[in-house]
Amino acid sequence: MGLFDWIGGQFIDVIEWTDDSHDTMVYRFPRHGNEIKYGAKLIVRESQVAVFVNEGVVADVLQPGIYELETKNLPILTSLKHWDHGFNSPFKAEVYFFNTKRFTNLKWGTKNPIMVRDPEFSMVRLRAFGTYEIRIIDPKKFMVEIVGTDGHFTVDEIDEQLKNLIVSKFTKVLGESKIPILDLASNYEKFSKYITKSIAPYFKEYGLELTKVIVENISLPENVEKALDRRTSREVTGNLDDNLKYQAGEALANSKGGSAIGDIMGAGIGFSMGQEMFNRREKDTPPPLPPRDTKMYHIAVDNLSQGPYDIRTIQQFIDKGDIKRDTLVWTKGMKNWESAGEVLPELFENTPPPLP
Protein backbone atom coordinates (compact mmCIF):
# COMPACT_ATOMS: atom_id res chain seq x y z
CA MET A 1 0.00 0.00 0.00
CA GLY A 2 1.40 3.41 -0.97
CA LEU A 3 1.53 6.44 1.25
CA PHE A 4 -1.36 8.18 -0.51
CA ASP A 5 -3.50 5.02 -0.35
CA TRP A 6 -2.88 4.88 3.39
CA ILE A 7 -3.79 8.53 3.80
CA GLY A 8 -6.93 8.09 1.70
CA GLY A 9 -8.04 5.16 3.82
CA GLN A 10 -7.15 6.77 7.12
CA PHE A 11 -9.57 9.72 7.01
CA ILE A 12 -13.29 9.70 6.23
CA ASP A 13 -14.52 12.70 4.20
CA VAL A 14 -18.20 11.80 3.61
CA ILE A 15 -20.52 9.92 5.92
CA GLU A 16 -23.83 8.80 4.42
CA TRP A 17 -26.15 5.79 4.16
CA THR A 18 -28.57 4.60 1.52
CA ASP A 19 -30.77 1.58 2.15
CA ASP A 20 -32.53 -0.78 -0.24
CA SER A 21 -33.31 -3.57 2.24
CA HIS A 22 -36.73 -2.14 3.34
CA ASP A 23 -36.39 -3.75 6.79
CA THR A 24 -33.30 -2.08 8.34
CA MET A 25 -34.18 0.16 11.27
CA VAL A 26 -30.67 1.08 12.49
CA TYR A 27 -27.35 0.99 10.63
CA ARG A 28 -23.90 1.77 12.07
CA PHE A 29 -21.58 3.46 9.59
CA PRO A 30 -18.56 1.16 9.04
CA ARG A 31 -15.53 3.07 10.30
CA HIS A 32 -13.13 0.15 10.78
CA GLY A 33 -10.68 2.22 12.77
CA ASN A 34 -10.69 5.12 10.31
CA GLU A 35 -10.71 8.64 11.69
CA ILE A 36 -13.33 11.17 10.70
CA LYS A 37 -11.66 14.13 9.11
CA TYR A 38 -12.26 17.54 10.64
CA GLY A 39 -14.71 19.33 8.32
CA ALA A 40 -15.98 16.08 6.81
CA LYS A 41 -19.51 16.13 5.42
CA LEU A 42 -22.34 14.21 6.99
CA ILE A 43 -25.38 13.65 4.76
CA VAL A 44 -28.61 12.79 6.54
CA ARG A 45 -31.44 12.14 4.11
CA GLU A 46 -35.16 12.53 4.61
CA SER A 47 -36.61 9.70 6.73
CA GLN A 48 -33.21 9.40 8.50
CA VAL A 49 -31.67 10.59 11.74
CA ALA A 50 -27.95 10.38 12.55
CA VAL A 51 -26.72 9.72 16.09
CA PHE A 52 -23.11 10.25 17.18
CA VAL A 53 -21.86 7.95 19.94
CA ASN A 54 -18.55 8.25 21.77
CA GLU A 55 -17.54 5.50 24.18
CA GLY A 56 -21.16 4.48 24.66
CA VAL A 57 -22.40 8.04 25.25
CA VAL A 58 -24.83 9.64 22.79
CA ALA A 59 -23.07 12.82 21.71
CA ASP A 60 -25.62 14.35 19.37
CA VAL A 61 -28.73 13.62 17.27
CA LEU A 62 -28.83 15.21 13.83
CA GLN A 63 -31.95 15.66 11.72
CA PRO A 64 -32.05 15.50 7.85
CA GLY A 65 -29.60 17.83 6.15
CA ILE A 66 -25.93 18.23 5.17
CA TYR A 67 -23.51 18.93 8.02
CA GLU A 68 -19.88 19.97 8.14
CA LEU A 69 -18.44 18.30 11.22
CA GLU A 70 -17.08 21.23 13.20
CA THR A 71 -17.51 22.39 16.78
CA LYS A 72 -20.30 24.77 15.81
CA ASN A 73 -22.29 21.83 14.43
CA LEU A 74 -21.63 19.44 17.33
CA PRO A 75 -21.36 21.52 20.52
CA ILE A 76 -22.03 18.54 22.75
CA LEU A 77 -19.02 16.64 21.46
CA THR A 78 -16.58 19.28 22.63
CA SER A 79 -17.64 18.71 26.24
CA LEU A 80 -17.00 14.97 26.13
CA LYS A 81 -13.80 13.15 26.93
CA HIS A 82 -11.18 13.22 24.14
CA TRP A 83 -12.88 16.14 22.37
CA ASP A 84 -10.63 18.80 23.96
CA HIS A 85 -8.91 19.46 20.63
CA GLY A 86 -12.08 21.09 19.36
CA PHE A 87 -11.92 19.03 16.17
CA ASN A 88 -8.73 20.71 15.07
CA SER A 89 -7.36 17.19 14.56
CA PRO A 90 -9.05 14.05 13.21
CA PHE A 91 -11.44 12.31 15.62
CA LYS A 92 -13.07 8.94 16.01
CA ALA A 93 -16.74 8.28 16.79
CA GLU A 94 -19.52 5.85 15.97
CA VAL A 95 -22.24 7.12 13.68
CA TYR A 96 -25.61 5.36 13.70
CA PHE A 97 -28.27 6.04 11.09
CA PHE A 98 -31.88 5.54 12.21
CA ASN A 99 -34.54 4.85 9.59
CA THR A 100 -37.56 6.97 10.57
CA LYS A 101 -39.87 5.89 7.74
CA ARG A 102 -42.97 3.79 8.42
CA PHE A 103 -42.46 0.04 8.52
CA THR A 104 -45.70 -1.37 7.12
CA ASN A 105 -47.48 -4.69 6.68
CA LEU A 106 -46.08 -6.20 9.87
CA LYS A 107 -48.15 -9.21 10.90
CA TRP A 108 -49.77 -9.89 14.27
CA GLY A 109 -52.14 -12.61 15.45
CA THR A 110 -53.25 -14.67 18.42
CA LYS A 111 -51.31 -17.91 18.85
CA ASN A 112 -54.06 -19.38 21.02
CA PRO A 113 -57.77 -18.49 21.39
CA ILE A 114 -58.54 -15.78 23.93
CA MET A 115 -61.54 -15.94 26.26
CA VAL A 116 -63.83 -12.89 26.31
CA ARG A 117 -67.32 -12.05 27.57
CA ASP A 118 -70.05 -11.31 25.05
CA PRO A 119 -73.56 -9.98 25.74
CA GLU A 120 -75.15 -12.53 23.38
CA PHE A 121 -72.94 -15.63 23.67
CA SER A 122 -71.83 -15.12 27.29
CA MET A 123 -68.25 -16.44 27.17
CA VAL A 124 -66.55 -17.23 23.85
CA ARG A 125 -63.06 -17.97 22.57
CA LEU A 126 -61.79 -15.77 19.75
CA ARG A 127 -58.90 -15.73 17.33
CA ALA A 128 -57.78 -12.56 15.59
CA PHE A 129 -55.09 -11.43 13.18
CA GLY A 130 -54.11 -8.42 11.12
CA THR A 131 -51.24 -6.03 10.37
CA TYR A 132 -49.64 -3.02 12.04
CA GLU A 133 -47.29 -0.12 11.23
CA ILE A 134 -44.51 1.48 13.30
CA ARG A 135 -41.78 4.08 13.01
CA ILE A 136 -38.97 5.44 15.19
CA ILE A 137 -39.78 8.74 16.89
CA ASP A 138 -37.14 8.83 19.66
CA PRO A 139 -33.80 7.49 18.32
CA LYS A 140 -31.95 7.97 21.60
CA LYS A 141 -34.53 6.03 23.62
CA PHE A 142 -34.75 3.33 20.96
CA MET A 143 -30.96 2.92 21.05
CA VAL A 144 -30.80 2.78 24.84
CA GLU A 145 -33.82 0.50 25.33
CA ILE A 146 -33.62 -1.82 22.31
CA VAL A 147 -30.69 -1.50 19.89
CA GLY A 148 -27.67 -1.20 22.16
CA THR A 149 -24.52 -1.77 20.09
CA ASP A 150 -26.20 -3.71 17.29
CA GLY A 151 -24.69 -2.37 14.08
CA HIS A 152 -27.42 -3.67 11.78
CA PHE A 153 -30.80 -3.79 13.51
CA THR A 154 -33.77 -5.05 11.47
CA VAL A 155 -37.51 -5.22 12.04
CA ASP A 156 -37.35 -9.00 12.58
CA GLU A 157 -35.38 -8.49 15.79
CA ILE A 158 -38.22 -6.65 17.51
CA ASP A 159 -41.25 -7.85 15.53
CA GLU A 160 -41.97 -10.80 17.84
CA GLN A 161 -41.86 -8.59 20.94
CA LEU A 162 -44.22 -6.05 19.39
CA LYS A 163 -46.66 -8.76 18.27
CA ASN A 164 -46.75 -10.16 21.79
CA LEU A 165 -47.38 -6.66 23.12
CA ILE A 166 -50.33 -6.13 20.77
CA VAL A 167 -51.90 -9.51 21.58
CA SER A 168 -51.41 -9.06 25.33
CA LYS A 169 -53.34 -5.79 25.24
CA PHE A 170 -55.87 -6.98 22.66
CA THR A 171 -58.02 -8.92 25.15
CA LYS A 172 -58.32 -5.94 27.48
CA VAL A 173 -59.15 -3.57 24.65
CA LEU A 174 -61.70 -6.01 23.21
CA GLY A 175 -63.46 -6.28 26.57
CA GLU A 176 -63.49 -2.51 27.14
CA SER A 177 -64.95 -1.85 23.70
CA LYS A 178 -68.16 -3.75 24.64
CA ILE A 179 -68.88 -4.43 20.97
CA PRO A 180 -70.93 -7.65 20.48
CA ILE A 181 -69.10 -10.40 18.63
CA LEU A 182 -71.56 -10.42 15.73
CA ASP A 183 -71.12 -6.65 15.27
CA LEU A 184 -67.32 -6.70 15.13
CA ALA A 185 -67.20 -7.38 11.38
CA SER A 186 -69.09 -4.16 10.65
CA ASN A 187 -66.87 -2.23 13.08
CA TYR A 188 -63.39 -3.42 12.04
CA GLU A 189 -62.28 0.08 11.02
CA LYS A 190 -63.61 1.71 14.18
CA PHE A 191 -62.20 -1.10 16.30
CA SER A 192 -58.79 -0.80 14.61
CA LYS A 193 -58.61 2.90 15.49
CA TYR A 194 -59.63 2.16 19.06
CA ILE A 195 -56.93 -0.50 19.42
CA THR A 196 -54.27 1.80 17.93
CA LYS A 197 -55.14 4.58 20.36
CA SER A 198 -55.18 2.22 23.35
CA ILE A 199 -51.93 0.34 22.63
CA ALA A 200 -49.82 3.19 21.18
CA PRO A 201 -48.61 4.49 24.61
CA TYR A 202 -46.85 1.16 25.31
CA PHE A 203 -44.81 1.48 22.10
CA LYS A 204 -43.54 4.92 23.13
CA GLU A 205 -41.65 3.25 25.97
CA TYR A 206 -39.37 1.82 23.24
CA GLY A 207 -39.05 5.10 21.34
CA LEU A 208 -41.51 3.88 18.70
CA GLU A 209 -44.82 5.15 17.39
CA LEU A 210 -47.61 2.70 16.61
CA THR A 211 -49.13 4.49 13.62
CA LYS A 212 -51.81 1.97 12.76
CA VAL A 213 -53.25 -1.41 13.75
CA ILE A 214 -55.47 -3.13 11.20
CA VAL A 215 -57.84 -5.91 12.27
CA GLU A 216 -58.33 -8.18 9.27
CA ASN A 217 -60.36 -10.93 10.93
CA ILE A 218 -61.84 -11.96 14.27
CA SER A 219 -63.14 -15.53 14.20
CA LEU A 220 -65.12 -17.79 16.50
CA PRO A 221 -64.31 -21.46 17.22
CA GLU A 222 -65.35 -23.88 14.51
CA ASN A 223 -68.18 -25.48 16.49
CA VAL A 224 -69.71 -22.07 17.28
CA GLU A 225 -69.44 -21.05 13.64
CA LYS A 226 -71.29 -24.23 12.63
CA ALA A 227 -74.02 -23.44 15.15
CA LEU A 228 -74.35 -19.94 13.71
CA ASP A 229 -74.56 -21.39 10.20
CA ARG A 230 -77.40 -23.68 11.25
CA ARG A 231 -79.18 -20.79 12.94
CA THR A 232 -78.80 -18.64 9.83
CA SER A 233 -80.14 -21.44 7.64
CA ARG A 234 -83.23 -21.80 9.83
CA GLU A 235 -83.93 -18.07 9.73
CA VAL A 236 -83.59 -18.00 5.94
CA THR A 237 -86.03 -20.86 5.43
CA GLY A 238 -88.49 -19.44 7.92
CA ASN A 239 -89.43 -22.94 9.16
CA LEU A 240 -87.90 -22.90 12.61
CA ASP A 241 -90.31 -25.40 14.16
CA ASP A 242 -89.99 -27.95 11.35
CA ASN A 243 -86.23 -27.52 11.29
CA LEU A 244 -85.91 -28.12 15.03
CA LYS A 245 -88.12 -31.20 14.83
CA TYR A 246 -86.09 -32.57 11.96
CA GLN A 247 -82.73 -32.02 13.72
CA ALA A 248 -84.01 -33.49 16.98
CA GLY A 249 -85.37 -36.59 15.25
CA GLU A 250 -82.23 -37.02 13.16
CA ALA A 251 -79.98 -36.67 16.20
CA LEU A 252 -81.96 -39.25 18.17
CA ALA A 253 -82.04 -41.67 15.25
CA ASN A 254 -78.31 -41.44 14.52
CA SER A 255 -76.96 -40.78 18.01
CA LYS A 256 -73.80 -42.73 18.90
CA GLY A 257 -72.48 -41.82 22.30
CA GLY A 258 -74.46 -38.59 22.28
CA SER A 259 -72.24 -36.88 19.67
CA ALA A 260 -75.12 -35.79 17.43
CA ILE A 261 -77.13 -34.47 20.38
CA GLY A 262 -74.01 -32.65 21.48
CA ASP A 263 -74.05 -30.87 18.13
CA ILE A 264 -77.63 -29.78 18.74
CA MET A 265 -76.77 -28.58 22.23
CA GLY A 266 -73.93 -26.61 20.67
CA ALA A 267 -76.56 -24.83 18.58
CA GLY A 268 -78.54 -23.95 21.70
CA ILE A 269 -81.01 -26.88 21.69
CA GLY A 270 -81.16 -29.04 24.82
CA PHE A 271 -81.69 -32.78 24.77
CA SER A 272 -85.02 -32.51 26.54
CA MET A 273 -86.33 -30.05 23.97
CA GLY A 274 -85.23 -32.35 21.17
CA GLN A 275 -86.93 -35.36 22.79
CA GLU A 276 -90.16 -33.44 23.32
CA MET A 277 -90.25 -32.17 19.75
CA PHE A 278 -89.55 -35.65 18.43
CA ASN A 279 -92.49 -37.05 20.44
CA ARG A 280 -94.76 -34.28 19.19
CA ARG A 281 -93.81 -34.92 15.60
CA GLU A 282 -96.10 -37.97 15.29
CA LYS A 283 -99.04 -36.27 17.01
CA ASP A 284 -98.91 -32.82 15.44
CA THR A 285 -98.07 -33.71 11.86
CA PRO A 286 -101.15 -32.96 9.69
CA PRO A 287 -102.50 -35.65 7.34
CA PRO A 288 -101.13 -35.78 3.80
CA LEU A 289 -102.63 -33.29 1.35
CA PRO A 290 -104.27 -34.38 -1.94
CA PRO A 291 -101.90 -35.31 -4.77
CA ARG A 292 -102.39 -31.98 -6.54
CA ASP A 293 -100.75 -30.19 -3.63
CA THR A 294 -97.43 -31.68 -4.53
CA LYS A 295 -96.92 -28.65 -6.74
CA MET A 296 -94.16 -26.23 -5.79
CA TYR A 297 -94.96 -22.52 -5.72
CA HIS A 298 -92.82 -19.39 -6.03
CA ILE A 299 -93.86 -16.27 -4.13
CA ALA A 300 -92.99 -12.60 -4.78
CA VAL A 301 -91.58 -10.76 -1.76
CA ASP A 302 -90.26 -7.19 -2.18
CA ASN A 303 -90.16 -7.69 -5.96
CA LEU A 304 -87.98 -10.77 -5.56
CA SER A 305 -88.91 -14.37 -6.32
CA GLN A 306 -88.54 -16.76 -3.40
CA GLY A 307 -89.06 -20.52 -3.26
CA PRO A 308 -90.21 -22.84 -4.53
CA TYR A 309 -92.23 -23.95 -1.47
CA ASP A 310 -94.60 -26.88 -1.09
CA ILE A 311 -98.24 -26.36 -0.21
CA ARG A 312 -97.65 -27.04 3.50
CA THR A 313 -95.10 -24.25 3.69
CA ILE A 314 -97.39 -21.92 1.75
CA GLN A 315 -100.16 -22.67 4.27
CA GLN A 316 -97.82 -21.83 7.17
CA PHE A 317 -96.86 -18.54 5.54
CA ILE A 318 -100.55 -17.71 5.11
CA ASP A 319 -101.34 -18.60 8.72
CA LYS A 320 -98.53 -16.33 9.94
CA GLY A 321 -99.61 -13.51 7.66
CA ASP A 322 -96.47 -13.59 5.52
CA ILE A 323 -98.55 -14.42 2.42
CA LYS A 324 -101.74 -12.41 1.82
CA ARG A 325 -104.49 -12.76 -0.78
CA ASP A 326 -102.83 -10.17 -3.04
CA THR A 327 -99.36 -11.75 -2.81
CA LEU A 328 -98.26 -12.85 -6.26
CA VAL A 329 -97.54 -16.56 -6.76
CA TRP A 330 -96.47 -18.70 -9.70
CA THR A 331 -96.18 -22.42 -10.39
CA LYS A 332 -95.26 -24.53 -13.36
CA GLY A 333 -97.94 -24.31 -16.07
CA MET A 334 -98.99 -20.71 -15.31
CA LYS A 335 -98.28 -18.05 -17.95
CA ASN A 336 -98.12 -15.11 -15.55
CA TRP A 337 -97.92 -14.37 -11.85
CA GLU A 338 -101.34 -14.22 -10.17
CA SER A 339 -102.55 -13.38 -6.69
CA ALA A 340 -102.54 -16.12 -4.09
CA GLY A 341 -106.24 -15.53 -3.43
CA GLU A 342 -107.08 -16.53 -6.99
CA VAL A 343 -104.60 -19.42 -7.35
CA LEU A 344 -105.12 -20.99 -3.92
CA PRO A 345 -108.50 -19.73 -2.65
CA GLU A 346 -109.10 -22.82 -0.48
CA LEU A 347 -106.08 -21.96 1.68
CA PHE A 348 -107.66 -18.67 2.71
CA GLU A 349 -110.97 -20.16 3.88
CA ASN A 350 -109.98 -19.80 7.54
CA THR A 351 -108.23 -16.48 7.02
CA PRO A 352 -110.36 -13.39 7.77
CA PRO A 353 -110.41 -10.58 5.20
CA PRO A 354 -108.53 -7.32 5.92
CA LEU A 355 -110.17 -4.96 8.39
CA PRO A 356 -112.01 -2.02 6.79
227: left (phi over 0), alpha (psi -120 to 50) or beta: alpha
Residues 131 and 205 in one domain: yes
Question: In the chain, which residues have pLDDT < 50?
Answer: 1-10, 75-89, 260-262, 264-271, 282, 287, 289-290, 292-293
CATH number, domain of 318, equals 3.30.1490.40
Distance CA 249, CA 253 (A): 6
Residues 17 and 94 in one domain: yes
Residues 199 and 109 in one domain: yes
C-alpha atoms less than 13 angstroms from C-alpha of 247 in its C-beta half-sphere: 24
Residues 125 and 147 in one domain: yes
Specify the pLDDT at position 295: 81
Indicate yes or no: pTM above 0.95: no
In a domain, 80, yes or no: yes
Q: Are strands 11-15 and 35-44 parallel, antiparallel or unpaired?
A: parallel
Specify the pLDDT at position 134: 94
**165-207 pLDDT tens trace:** 888 888 777 777 777 777 777 778 887 888 888 889 999 999 9
Residues 55 and 84 in one domain: yes
Residues 204 and 152 in one domain: yes
Distance CA 95, CA 60 (A): 10
CA nearest 298: which of 265, 267, 338?
Answer: 338
Residues 107 and 40 in one domain: no
Average pLDDT, the chain: 75
Residues 133 and 189 in one domain: yes
Could you write out the three-class secondary structure of the chain?
Answer: CCHHHHHHHHEEEEECCCCCCCCEEEEECCCCCCEEEEEEEEEECCCEEEEEEECCEEEEEECCEEEECCCCCCHHHHCCCCCCCCCCCCECCEEEEEECCCEEEEEEECCCCEEEEECCCEEEEEEEEEEEEEEECCHHHHHHHHHCCCCEEECHHHHHHHHHHHHHHHHHHHHHHCCCHHHCHHHHHHHHHHHHHHHHHHHHCCCEEEEEEEEEEEECCHHHHHHHHHHHHHHHHCCHHHHHHHHHHHHHHHCCCCHHHHHHHHCCCCHHHHHHHHHHHHHHCCCCCCHHHHCCEEEEECCEEEEEECHHHHHHHHHHCCCCCCCEEEECCCCCCEEHHHHCHHHHCCCCCCCC
Cβ atoms 181, 123 nearer than 8 A: no
Residues 18 and 79 in one domain: yes
Distance CA 299, CA 305 (A): 6
In a domain, 314, yes or no: yes
Domain housing 272: 223-284
In a domain, 355, yes or no: no
Number of domains the chain contains:
4
Residues 189 and 176 in one domain: yes
Domain boundary, last residue among 187, 202, 220? 220
Residues 202 and 298 in one domain: no
Distance CA 97, CA 88 (A): 25
